[in-house]
Every structure is written in C-alpha cells, then in structure tokens.
Structure 1
Amino acid sequence: MRVDDLRTTAIGFGSVIIIFAALFAFVGVDELIATVRTANPQYIVLVVGVTLMWLFSWSVSLHTVLQTLDVHLSYIGSFFVFAGAMFSNNVTPFGQAGGEPITAYLISKTADAEYETSLAAIASVDTLNLIPSISIALIGVGYFMTEIALGSRSNIVIGVTSVVILTSIILTIGYTAWRYRYNIEHRVVNAFTPIIHWFANVVPPLPDTNKTEVESRIEGFFRAIERVAANPRQLAVALSASTIGWICQMTALWLAFRAIGIELRTTFILIIVPIATIAGVTPLPGGAGGIETVLVFLLLSAPLPSVTEAIAVTAVVIFRGAIYWVPVILGGGVVAWISSGANIGSHS
C-alpha cells in the first residue's frame, strides 16, 4: 500500500475514533457500560445471524446481475465476493464509491470476467439497492405521518425532508449522467488517455493503452449496464433480494433494541435506517462514526420516551457492530484468499 493510501486510511480511522469518543462522552461512559452489561447475549447472536442473512440476500442480487451479464459465479462464490465487496466499502472512504473499483477487481479475478463488466455489475447492484431503501423509507414516512402530529417531531421531519431532497438530487444526477452517457464517455476518454500514457511512462510495468482501447473499455461498461436494465425478470429478482436485505438490516436494529429490553416501533425503523445509510458517503471508512451519529440523532429526535441517550447509543453500537464488523472480518479473509490466487467457485 502506498504512503498516501496509508495516510488517508489513518486519518479516516483517526476521525472515526474521535467521533466515537465524542459520542460516548455525550452519553457518559459509566452509564453506557452499565447499559451494555444489560444486553441479552441471545439477541446479540440473532443480530449477527440476521446480518449474515442481509449479506446473503444482497449477494443473491449480485449473483442475478452477474447471470444477466453471462458471468458465472456460484451462490456461495457470490456470497464470499460480496462479503469482500463490503469489506472494501468499509475500509475505504466514501462507502461504495471508494470500494467499487476493488470489488470489480475481486469479481473479475474470481469469475474470470472483464474488469469493466465486473464494475458494471457491482455498480448496478449498488443502484438497485438504492431503490428499495427509498421505497421503504417513503412507506415509513407515510405511516408515520398518520400516527403523530407534525409539531412533536420537528427534528425527524428535518431528517426526512433532507433524505427526500438528497434522493431527488441523486436520482436527477443519475438520470442526467445516463441520458448523456456517450457525451460523458467522449470527455472521459479524452481526459484519461493522456493520464494513462503518463503513468505508463513513469511506471514501466504498467501497460500503455491507446485512445481506441480506452474508448472500447468504457463502451463495454455502458453496454453491460444496458444489458442489466433491459432484463425486467432478472431486475425483479435482484430488487426482491435487495428488499429482503434491507428488511434484514432493519430487523437487526429492532433486535439490537430488544437485546436491551426495548421494543422499537417498526415505523421508526423503516425511516431511520435508510436515512442513516446516506452518511455512508462521507469520507469516513464505511461511514463509520457518521452513520452511528445520524442514527442516534434520529432516535433521540423521535418521540420515544423509553429511549434514553445510553439506550440509543448501546443499541446502535450493537447494530452497527454487526453490520460493520461481520463483513470486515469475513470479507477481509475473502480478499486475502482471492489475492493469494485461490478459487472460490466460478460456476453457476
């Protein structure tokens, strides 16, 4: 790993430590420890189990997209590769944006697929995962609006409004980029070809690439995206698997609260999990620190008398501890295994 990469990683994790220290100080370390000690281990095991179900569900979505692109990877292979994908997302800044290139490498190496096809596959999965989160959040908002007067939840309304605005911006940018993708392709080719020539001259082992080859690879990426979008049956399967994965995440948060004797209302879970996930785009490794802070803020902003600061932080730490560390531990082993040249199953 280069010195710059090490420095960026160190700064990222250093920021995470500072954020958690501030969060724990806000609650009070003694009160937090006392609350953690009340947690039921059986529920914590269930949180981990549901986390594995979430990983498997989203790996099914990846498997389905790969099938659409004629890339053959077994279900178990897809599961391990997706765990590696989540590992790369969790240790790089900006969430999926930082981890996607590494994930594409894992797919191409494991399934013997072209890199641009692999990149298109994981980009498609990330995009598909966004759709159920928005839908579930809107369902939660609609139900929430019918239950509680607007005046009693001004902070959470701000959160909901923010996610709607951000979602609209993301969808608008995505639509515009797709509509003008060939213009973007032309600009990217002209911009990156000289950079590739420069790197090839500076670092002799790197192969030089002409403008035609760069253009061909980018066109291959767009064609792969088009193939996924043109298969409604496979899209439906991938979206269903993605939706199940989101439900698993929300169930994990509900179980985390049950572990400390609190039964959190489903309405709030439907809203706060998708909203908090947006914090994953921050320049923190996997959004760690940012997602937890947003979750705690939303929980304390909602009219939940039984949820104190210590309870909110404890439940979030249990929930995010599983969601973050299970993929890091499992996926880290997968990345090391694939990097060593091992095969994890490339048949369907």
Structure 2
Amino acid sequence: MDTPVETRSVVVGFLAGALVTALLLWVVGVGTVVDALARARPRRLLLVAAAAACWLVAWALSLRTVLRVLGRDVSVPRAVAVYASTAFANNVTPFGQAGGEPFSAYLISRETDVEYGTGFAAISSVDALHFVPSLTLGVAGFGYLAATATLGDRLTLVAAAVAVLAVGLPVLVYLAWTNRDRVERGVARAVTPVAHLIARLVPRISAPDADAVEARVAEFFVAIDRVAADRRGLLLAVGFSALGWLALAASLWSSLYALGYTIPFVVALVAIPVGDLAAVVPIPGGLGGLEALLVLVVSTLAPVPAGVVAAAALVHRVATYLFPMVLGGAAAAVIAD
C-alpha cells in the first residue's frame, strides 16, 4: 500500500525536525551539550517532571472548564487524558495546533460524547485563550528586563519576537473574527482533506464534505460566543492557562537548575512564549525550531553558555514534548478504539 501523502508529510516533518535539532547541536557544540547533560542532578530533574505534570493538568483543567461552559462536564482524570491526547495530535502534525485541531476535535467528541463542532470549538477556544496569558507574561517579563537590565543591542531580536506576540497575534485574531464568513470557507477547504484522512484511518468515521465542514465551523463561532459570554468560566479557563504557562517556565528554569545554572525566573517567562512561535514552522511540535529559539532567548538574556541552554532545552522538551507524546498517544489509541 502506498503511503498517504499526509502520512509522508508527518514523516518528512519529523525528519526535518531531527535535522534542525542536529544542526542546532552542531552549532552550539555536541560535546558541550553532552558534558552539560552528564552533570545533571537526578533529584533536581524531579522538579522538571513536577513542573511538566503541573502544566499538563493546568491546561487540561482549562479544557475541562471550556467544555463545562459548552454544556459537557467531565472528570479531572478524563480531562487530563483527553488533553494529553490533543497534545499528541498537535505534536505529530505540522503547524502545531493548527494542524492537530481537527483530529483533537474528533478525540474530544469521541471521549466526551459531544458534537464534533463543539469539540472543535472547545479545543480551539482553549488554544485561543492560551494567547492571553502568553502575551501578558511575555510582554510583562520583557518590560521588566528592559527596565532593569543593561543588555543593549542584545535585546533587539528578543524585542522583535515579543512584538510579534504583542501586536501580530491580536491583529490576526481580530481580522479572523471580523471576517468570519471568509474564515469559515477557508477552514472548510483546509479541514476537509484532514477529515478524509481521519476517515481512512478510522473506518467508522464518515468524512464530511466541504459544506458540512463549513456548517460546523459556523457552529464553532456560535460556541465561541457562548464561551466569551460566560465571564466566570472564561476567567477560570484563562487562570488555568496562566498557571500552565508558569509551569512551563518553571520546567525550563528547573532544567537549567538541574544542570547547575540559575537564571532569573523572568527570563524563562519571556523565553517560553517566544519559543512557542516555532509552532508556525511546518515541523511537528516545532521540533528543533523551538529549542533554537529557547537557546537564542536564554543565552541572550542570561549569562549561560549556549551549549548548556541547548542541553536544558532538551531536558525541558523531554518533559513537555516527549512525555505528553507517549501519554497522549496511548490515550488517543484508547479513545479512538
């Protein structure tokens, strides 16, 4: 049987991510990275694992809150399993959340017995809500560093990345919301091939046509309105999201701490949302690109060798990328069965 084009794209994406990672290690020095990893203190690595677990649970609670607003209550363990499965979907498809959301919506609808459109609205709402604390923490952290540190020209690249977060993303969201009809048609054209792929992988699922997908996207905007109208639920979901971002920053900070380096926590707060910009690269989970951005930001804002930062980035990604991949992959297999 010939390999489907979509499957080949995922394989090529992972190979590209491995190549980018290998290039990063070559630039910073493979020996330096290996030496830094060899000095890792096992007890301190437990802090990384704890931070990663807190992140996964916090964002699962954010998804649970949104599902509750949309009329479906799920237990915390089920919410964690569902969110882990969506993290798996996002991390194996190119373009991160944008590529994984259709499959994530299917997993949510299967596990929570909601309509596919509601599941799509739930995961899309959560991903959109993540931008709020990401922007707030990133911009606030950068402002603090700019006001208290004397880094001069070294701030230029980081400032450009923060500007993309602070200005570019809100503008895109605004344009998408004010042009909902065009977005509905565009999403329908983009999602329909993915839906057909899911139908091939899961024979029990019938693939909708473009008109049906467009109708579901319209339902998605209605559901988004429902989430936005529930202020208590909205604030709670954003609060859990912010807790998750803090946990991700703690994971990066703990990774460096485990290797014997201590940086200001605010540096990690800036690095994490900037690193998330790698999601726009057509590589599953931003593999390689995210690590490179973390190295750039941390080594720019803190006196830590690039090789050590690269080693810490690998530790951080094992906890926040590989672990959710394994856990989420198992959960997705059970849910889709």
- TM value normalised by structure 1: 0.87
- Cα distance between partner residues in 2 of 1:315 and 1:217: 42
Offset, 1:73: 1.8
Q: In 1, are the aligned partners of 2:66 and 2:122 still within 8 Å (CA)? A: yes
Q: Which residue of structure 2 aligns with residue 269 of structure 1?
A: 268
Count of equivalent residues: 326
SS in 1 for 2:130: helix
Shift in CA distance, 244/3, structure 1 to aligned 2, threshold 3 Å: same
Identity %: 36
Q: Which residue of structure 2 aligns with residue 248 of structure 1?
A: 247
- Cα distance between partner residues in 1 of 2:115 and 2:258: 45
- Cα distance between partner residues in 2 of 1:209 and 1:312: 47
Q: Which residue of structure 1 aligns with residue 311 of structure 2?
A: 314
Which amino acid counterpart does residue 172 of structure 2 have in structure 1? I
- Cα distance between partner residues in 2 of 1:7 and 1:108: 26
- TM value normalised by structure 2: 0.90
- Cα distance between partner residues in 2 of 1:210 and 1:269: 42
Q: Which residue of structure 2 aligns with residue 94 of structure 1?
A: 95
Q: Provide, for residues 208-257 of structure 1, a one-character-per-residue CA deviation record: whole Å limited to 9, x for no partner.
A: 7695x555433322211110011000001001100100110011111111
Q: Which residue of structure 2 aligns with residue 343 of structure 1?
A: none
Q: In 2, are the aligned partners of 1:153 and 1:301 still within 8 Å (CA)? A: no
- Cα distance between partner residues in 2 of 1:257 and 1:207: 46
Q: In 1, are the aligned partners of 2:85 and 2:328 still within 8 Å (CA)? A: yes
Shift in CA distance, 184/46, structure 1 to aligned 2, threshold 3 Å: closer
Structure 1 residue corresponding to 2:320, chosen from 312, 320, 323 = 323
RMSD, aligned CA: 2.3
Q: In 2, are the aligned partners of 1:73 and 1:111 still within 8 Å (CA)? A: yes
Q: In 2, are the aligned partners of 1:160 and 1:275 still within 8 Å (CA)? A: no
- Cα distance between partner residues in 2 of 1:15 and 1:219: 35
- Cα distance between partner residues in 1 of 2:287 and 2:209: 37
**Structure 2 unaligned runs (5+)?**
none
Shift in CA distance, 291/216, structure 1 to aligned 2, threshold 3 Å: closer
Shift in CA distance, 141/332, structure 1 to aligned 2, threshold 3 Å: same
Q: Which residue of structure 2 aligns with residue 171 of structure 1?
A: 170
Shift in CA distance, 178/148, structure 1 to aligned 2, threshold 3 Å: same
Q: In 2, are the aligned partners of 1:53 and 1:248 still within 8 Å (CA)? A: yes
Which amino acid counterpart does residue 270 of structure 1 have in structure 2? L
- Cα distance between partner residues in 2 of 1:288 and 1:227: 34
Q: In 1, are the aligned partners of 2:268 and 2:298 still within 8 Å (CA)? A: no
Which amino acid counterpart does residue 19 of structure 1 have in structure 2? V
Shift in CA distance, 44/210, structure 1 to aligned 2, threshold 3 Å: closer
Offset, 1:34: 1.7
Q: In 2, are the aligned partners of 1:44 and 1:256 still within 8 Å (CA)? A: yes
Offset, 1:146: 1.7
Which amino acid counterpart does residue 332 of structure 2 have in structure 1? V
SS in 2 for 1:277: helix
Moved more, 213-222 or 226-235: 213-222
Q: Which residue of structure 1 aligns with residue 10 of structure 2?
A: 9
Q: Provide, for residues 242-298 of structure 1, a one-character-per-residue CA deviation record: whole Å limited to 9, x for no partner.
A: 010011001111111110111111221121111111112210110010000011111
Q: In 1, are the aligned partners of 2:52 and 2:320 still within 8 Å (CA)? A: yes
Q: Which residue of structure 2 aligns with residue 219 of structure 1?
A: 218
Q: Which residue of structure 1 aligns with residue 281 of structure 2?
A: 282
Offset, 1:300: 2.1
- Cα distance between partner residues in 2 of 1:160 and 1:38: 32
Larger Rg: 1
SS in 1 for 2:309: helix
Q: Which residue of structure 2 aligns with residue 333 of structure 1?
A: 330
